[in-house]
């Protein structure tokens, strides 16, 4: 009974609800299509009026070891190279600018505040310059010859699959000779020497089609390495002559350095090159520009041809004296040109000066012939003069040497440019072209004269004055003798 009342008053037990099915998960939206990969914008190529941004790190990586003390911190930033500057130097195969332009345009702290190497030419990375320039600026030479290639000539650089094979068409019937061939007795084989001949070295042309520059070997090897000098001494080649091909010299002079291997120079000597076996044939040797440049320019200069004009008999003589008959002389034919000497003197001598000018200034009145080296040595002995040099109108050093850290070749190269710019500025302000230039670098004076086809630069001693009157007389005599 107790159980009956317990069930009567107990709350009803509800049956567990049926488990409802889980609502379906919403389907994931389909992945959005990936945006198309953006194409890299083409690089903007520099045109004529633009500048080419060159990384300073690329330029510093090419600097010589002497510039290492000037790099004082991490190198960042660009150097803006004008396209006109690059176009003007590309025909020479290199682009060079003074280091001072790079140092002044770099971010502060990149280089040390030291201007001792500002005038030194620095070579810029040529591949970076060409890659940034518009190809339309690199125009080809006009007047190039185009050759029409026949269609039957196949390209030797094409793929093998694209080259049609030449198959001869079979003939309808073989051709049978009507007469038997006449037997020919075989020629006896030539006798073969039992001693094998030594292999000949690769031939090197002694002279090109454009001629050669011949000079003594003794004028070149003063600063060559000691192993090469020993080869010359062992073979007694001190008095030998070497013929340098003009086409090789022309290409080397455009780069500012004349470098050949020892093996090439041996082949160009006027002696038998088989008499020496040296392991130094591949050694590169630099020829002195002060010796090569004057001779190269003198040989490249074309001879002046005089034209003979025949004057008719009916042409009146404008300079005849009235009342006197004049007899017209027959024209005298020009003498044939003298043959060029086989060996050119290594250093050109300056034309003979009168004894009352250079001889009087230098204390040798009886001397009339003066070489460029002698003139610079005598100028250096004048009071207040530290050094001097003579350069050609093309910027090549003829004679003289400046004290370090100054570089004689660099100063000789800039002399024509300095006078060219000053002449342009003088013309703009209606002045005559300058003939002399005086500079004062700190306490050091420097005077530069334009003496006809030559330039004379004289460097003074710090704190002293140069003998301007004597130097003007020397420059005037050089201009008179070398117009």
Structural domain boundaries, residue 88: 51-134
For residue 335 the two structure tokens come to 């003498």
User: Which strands sit side by side in the sheet containing 444-451, from one edge to the other?
Assistant: 397-400, 385-392, 454-460, 444-451, 436-441
Q: What is the pLDDT of residues 402-432, one digit of tens each?
A: 888 888 888 888 888 888 888 888 888 988 8
User: Residue 325: inside a domain, yes or no?
Assistant: no
| Cα 300 from Cα 241, distance rounded (Å) | 20
Question: Which conformational region is residue 402 in: left (phi greater than 0), alpha (psi within -120 to 50 degrees), or beta?
Answer: beta
Q: Is the pLDDT of residue 91 over 50?
A: yes
State mean pLDDT over 135-147. Answer: 66
Distance CA 446, CA 411 (A): 12
Higher-pLDDT residue of 154, 443: 443
With a cut of 60, say whether residue 344 has pLDDT above it: no
Instruction: Supply the pLDDT for residue 12.
Output: 57
Contact 356, 366 (CB under 8 A): no
In a domain, 242, yes or no: yes
Contact 78, 56 (CB under 8 A): yes
- Say what the pLDDT of residue 389 is: 92
Torsion of CA 197, 198, 201, 202, to 10 degrees: 40
Do both 275 and 367 map to the same domain? no
Listing DSSP states for 131-186 in one string gives: HHB-GGGSPPPTTPPP-PPPTTSPPTTS-GGGS----PPPPSSPPPPSSPPPP-PP
DSSP alpha helices (H): ranges in 341-407? Answer: 358-361, 372-380
pLDDT value at position 390?
92
Please give the sequence-ordered ranges of beta strands (E in DSSP) within 370-428, or none if there are none: 385-392, 397-400
Assigned domain for 335 exists? no
Specify whether 455 is located in the same domain as 375.
yes
Is residue 46 situated within a structural domain? Answer: no
Query: Domain total for the chain?
Result: 3
Question: Residue 424 belongs to a domain with what CATH number?
Answer: 3.30.450.30
Residue 184 lies in a domain: no
> Are 362 and 280 found together in one domain?
no
What is the reported pLDDT for 320?
47
Q: Please tell me what DSSP assigns to residue 447.
A: E
Q: What is the pLDDT of residues 227-243, one digit of tens each?
A: 888 888 888 888 888 88
Spatial distance between the Cα atoms of 385 and 458, rounded to a whole number of angstroms: 7
> Is residue 175 pLDDT above 70, yes or no?
no
- The answer to whether residue 24 is domain-embedded is no
Nearest residue to 297 (alpha-carbon basis) of 401, 396, 413, 410: 396
Residue 22's pLDDT band (boundaries 50, 70, 90)? low
Q: Which one of 106, 134, 162 terminates a domain? A: 134
The per-residue pLDDT for 26 is 53
Give percent above pLDDT 70 in the chain. 62
Residue 420 zone, left/alpha/beta (φ > 0; ψ -120 to 50; rest) = alpha
In angstroms, how far apart are the furthest CA atoms of the chain?
187
- Kindly state whether residues 369 and 261 are assigned to the same domain: no
**Residue 132: which pLDDT band, with cuts at 50, 70 and 90?**
confident
Q: Tell me how many degrees the CA angle 394-396-399 measures, rounded to the nearest 5.
A: 135
pTM > 0.85: no
Choice between 121 and 152, residue whose per-residue pLDDT is larger? 121
pLDDT band at 456 (very low <50, low <70, confident <90, very high): very high
pLDDT, position 353: 41
3-state secondary structure of 223: helix
Of 299, 319, 334, the residue that ends a domain is: 299
375 and 289 within one domain: no
């Amino acid at each position: 009974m107790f159980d009956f009342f317990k069930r009567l008053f107990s709350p009803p037990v509800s049956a567990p609800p049926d488990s409802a099915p889980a609502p379906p998960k919403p389907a994931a939206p389909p992945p959005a299509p990936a945006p198309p990969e953006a194409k890299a914008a083409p690089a903007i190529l520099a045109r004529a009026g633009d500048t080419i941004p060159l990384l300073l790190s690329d330029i510093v990586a090419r600097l010589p070891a002497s510039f290492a003390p000037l790099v004082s911190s991490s190198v960042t930033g660009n150097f803006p190279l004008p396209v006109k500057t690059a176009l003007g130097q590309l025909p020479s195969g290199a682009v060079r600018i003074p280091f001072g332009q790079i140092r002044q345009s770099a971010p502060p702290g990149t280089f040390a505040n030291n201007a001792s190497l500002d005038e030194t030419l620095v070579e810029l990375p040529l591949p970076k310059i060409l890659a940034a320039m518009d190809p339309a600026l690199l125009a080809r030479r006009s007047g190039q010859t185009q050759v029409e290639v026949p269609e039957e000539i196949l390209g030797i650089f094409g793929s093998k699959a694209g080259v049609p094979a030449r198959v001869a068409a079979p003939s309808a019937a073989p051709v049978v000779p009507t007469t038997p061939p006449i037997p020919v007795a075989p020629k006896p084989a030539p006798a073969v020497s039992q001693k094998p001949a030594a292999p000949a070295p690769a031939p090197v042309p002694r002279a090109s089609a454009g001629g050669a520059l011949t000079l003594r070997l003794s004028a070149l090897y003063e600063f060559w390495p000691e192993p090469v000098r020993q080869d010359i001494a062992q073979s007694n080649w001190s008095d030998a002559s070497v013929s340098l091909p003009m086409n090789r010299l022309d290409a080397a002079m455009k780069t500012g350095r004349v470098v050949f291997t020892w093996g090439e120079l041996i082949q160009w000597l006027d002696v038998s090159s088989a008499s020496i076996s040296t392991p130094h044939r591949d050694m590169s040797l630099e020829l002195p520009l002060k010796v090569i440049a004057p001779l190269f320019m003198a040989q490249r200069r074309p001879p002046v041809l005089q034209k003979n004009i025949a004057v008719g008999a009916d042409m009146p003589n404008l300079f005849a004296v009235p009342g006197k008959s004049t007899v017209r002389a027959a024209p005298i034919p020009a003498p044939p040109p003298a043959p060029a000497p086989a060996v050119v003197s290594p250093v050109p001598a300056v034309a003979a000066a009168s004894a009352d000018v250079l001889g009087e200034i230098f204390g040798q009145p009886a001397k009339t012939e003066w070489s460029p080296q002698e003139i610079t040595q005598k100028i250096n002995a004048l009071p207040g003069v530290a050094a001097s040099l003579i350069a050609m109108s093309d910027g090549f050093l003829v004679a003289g040497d400046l004290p370090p850290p100054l570089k004689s070749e660099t100063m000789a190269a800039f002399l024509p440019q300095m006078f060219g710019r000053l002449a342009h500025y003088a013309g703009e302000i209606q002045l005559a072209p300058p003939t002399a230039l005086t500079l004062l670098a700190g306490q050091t004076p420097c005077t530069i004269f334009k003496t006809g086809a030559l330039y004379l630069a004289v460097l003074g001693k710090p704190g002293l004055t140069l003998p301007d009157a004597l130097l003007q007389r020397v420059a005037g005599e050089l201009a008179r003798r070398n117009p």
